[in-house]
Structure 1
């Protein structure tokens, strides 16, 4: 018993340390460092206040908490009904104890994110090992888009609900799977990806009627919200129609958007925009990086693994400085799809199907905006990446350092109300 308590204490200490250290980096960047930077033309001044944690979607959740939902037949205007109710509802409940709106939203998101880390850790530990659990947890906590698990957004709550639902279904705890699944679809629309995942596994593994009932019960969250929209606005799909203000009439795979991003990485934004080679230095630096990579690979045996790895680290950083966010977005989305396929036989089937279902939703919105943030919200990727890094830990440490650099820069940008994801 004492040994078990000791191991439990060590596990919880690791989780809290990972969560706290990553959140501390974000807080320092947003509250102490961001105010030192001048305000750009399209940003706002960062101040030492709760305001730095509120930008973009945060504003809409605050409107819902203070003024409720709004919607009209003019779908070209932005309406709060596009945002799902669980997060603002919980924030409102926390406000009853006397906390300000921004503090309540931050508390809900951060507490949920910590709980998601705990559930992921012990689930992965049961499936694999402590080492894998630690890498999976570190990946989820230190990925730069975990910034959205601290600011007034729904990432922390969504990760908690989906991770809990997937774990419960994997362990055949169908009541809990239905409960957490329904909360997932009451938090964000991508929660519906749980439904095909649960149904497919129910059929594939012949789990019986309880599994099918749990699978369909996941839709209760979105169904109740749809019922509310019908009663309140006379449109059961108001939350979908309202999203046209953000994406217009775009649907399906955003070929043009992804092609544009690929061209910006390949030839540079200036060259792509102008239609001719206006910025030859971009092409020159790209060529140097590519040639250096080829030589590094060609002479890797002579250089030794240590120099080879450091060489790759330097080239990756150089490529990121050159290409900026587009490289990270494509690596996370399409690299995530490849990783999920590569490790499909080693992670639970329900997480694999959920991952691919989520990517199908992400890639068929008609736009590329926020796709990397939505991909981060797929817990299957953290599990797969943790499994990969547990086998190659020497690659894991520099990846975490790189994540830290990105998280720091993203936090400063968010504090200035600049677009991140």
Structure 2
């Protein structure tokens, strides 16, 4: 027991344990367990190879690593210029020393994700203490969408850059804030959410000219990429224009998409597509779960907190089984907005404004796919959730178990080249 306490008391070992255990679950599931299941008709067979970490956007990043960028004025065609350069550039550097594109991408993403966990832990520990730091780190590591911190995607690198930028700005280390901020906008477009966050805090807290310069320096990453696009393709906004191939003409808040998702949760997909209650079982079960949840809450004092908690755990599992990914997406996006508002006075102001700016971008793309994955990349939520779970740790453990279940299922789906987020 003493050895276990000493191990957990060591901050570095705790971060390593969170990173390694969650990555092992993903790797074992994708490499060893998934190949045991039959291949679905709409997926691909999973084998013990690097290919299980390679699907969807991974294909585009490999093209950039091996052949560079391509683009044409036909905005209805997909082109690699839609993907920002820092991740393929770092992967390309590893390729120079002998790694294959797939291995290089996996190494960059995983090492960056580990560094992001480490920086988050020490930052939260400085602000709130060790308990909150552990929960925030566990949340970031075990959230099922951290799968994208292991496969050939940019999540790990983006989290590293944004956490480092926010921490540096919060500590008034403006050179580092500008540096990491510029790297974030060279990694993914949502990195621009740092700019209004930095500018607002600079004005609100009267930080001076250095803070404003750091705020504007964040845009250097996307500006240099825009300059490259102008020189190479004659279109400085090529990475924006080409998004039409993915999103069509959709802009603004995706009312129809979110409404459809809400209807799928409450009445079921079959009933939604039919336009009438063709399958009464889904809405009946949904109503029973909701009413049961209300009764549990209403009589929680009579039941006792233990029965109340286990009852809610069971009902949530039933709700997830009934509704699927839609309930998780709604909870992460709109629940995340509420959590951010609820925690606005507890977490640093710069992370609050960054969080709301990021959600503004997510909710104004005109589409709903990948919204939950982008929400996961908002580090403000991990900090807020860490504070919440540090206060109510008995809720934290079953949440982490549920995260592990989702991570397991998401890993299987990604390894089969099926859509996750």
TM-score band by shorter chain is: over 0.9
CA distance in 2, matches of 1:292, 1:154: 41
Q: Tell me the SS of whatever aligns to 1:183.
A: helix
Moved over 4 A (4+): 6-9
Matched, 1:95 2:95: yes
Q: What residue ranges of structure 1 are gaps of 5+ in the alignment?
A: 1-5
What corresponds to 1:274 in structure 2?
A: 274
Query: What is the deviation of 1:9?
Result: 7.7
Matched, 1:110 2:92: no
220-229 vs 284-293, which moves further: 284-293
What corresponds to 1:329 in structure 2?
A: 329
CA contact (8 A) 2:54 2:151 kept: yes
Query: What is the deviation of 1:286?
Result: 1.1
How high is the TM-score relative to the length of structure 1? 0.98
Query: What is the deviation of 1:294?
Result: 2.3
What corresponds to 1:128 in structure 2?
A: 128
Aligned pairs for 1:190-229 within 5 A: 190-229=190-229
Aligned pairs for 1:10-409 within 5 A: 10-409=10-409
What corresponds to 1:418 in structure 2?
A: 418
Q: Tell me the SS of whatever aligns to 1:72.
A: coil
Q: How many residues align?
A: 416
Query: What is the deviation of 1:42?
Result: 1.4
Query: What is the deviation of 1:290?
Result: 1.8
Q: What residue ranges of structure 2 are gaps of 5+ in the alignment?
A: 1-5
334-343 vs 291-300, which moves further: 291-300
* Change in 2 beyond 3 A, CA 1:321/1:14: same
CA distance in 1, matches of 2:109, 2:147: 11
CA distance in 2, matches of 1:287, 1:331: 18
Query: What is the deviation of 1:7?
Result: 9.3
Q: Tell me the SS of whatever aligns to 1:291.
A: helix
Q: Deviations for 1:342-396, whole angstroms, at most 9, x for unmatched residues?
A: 0100000000000000000000000001000000000000000001100000000
CA distance in 1, matches of 2:116, 2:242: 30
CA contact (8 A) 2:147 2:411 kept: yes
What corresponds to 1:3 in structure 2?
A: none
Query: What is the deviation of 1:8?
Result: 11
CA distance in 1, matches of 2:19, 2:162: 19
CA distance in 2, matches of 1:7, 1:416: 37
Query: What is the deviation of 1:299?
Result: 2.1
Query: What is the deviation of 1:303?
Result: 1.3
Q: Tell me the SS of whatever aligns to 1:75.
A: coil
CA distance in 2, matches of 1:65, 1:373: 23
CA distance in 2, matches of 1:301, 1:9: 36
* Change in 2 beyond 3 A, CA 1:9/1:101: farther
Query: What is the deviation of 1:101?
Result: 1.1
CA distance in 1, matches of 2:191, 2:293: 40
Q: CA RMSD in A?
A: 1.1
Query: What is the deviation of 1:126?
Result: 0.2
Query: What is the deviation of 1:291?
Result: 2.3
CA distance in 2, matches of 1:9, 1:339: 28
Query: What is the deviation of 1:279?
Result: 1.2
CA distance in 1, matches of 2:333, 2:104: 31
CA distance in 2, matches of 1:288, 1:162: 42
CA distance in 1, matches of 2:272, 2:37: 30
Q: Deviations for 1:277-329, whole angstroms, at most 9, x for unmatched residues?
A: 11111122112212221221222112111011000000000000000000000
How high is the TM-score relative to the length of structure 2? 0.98
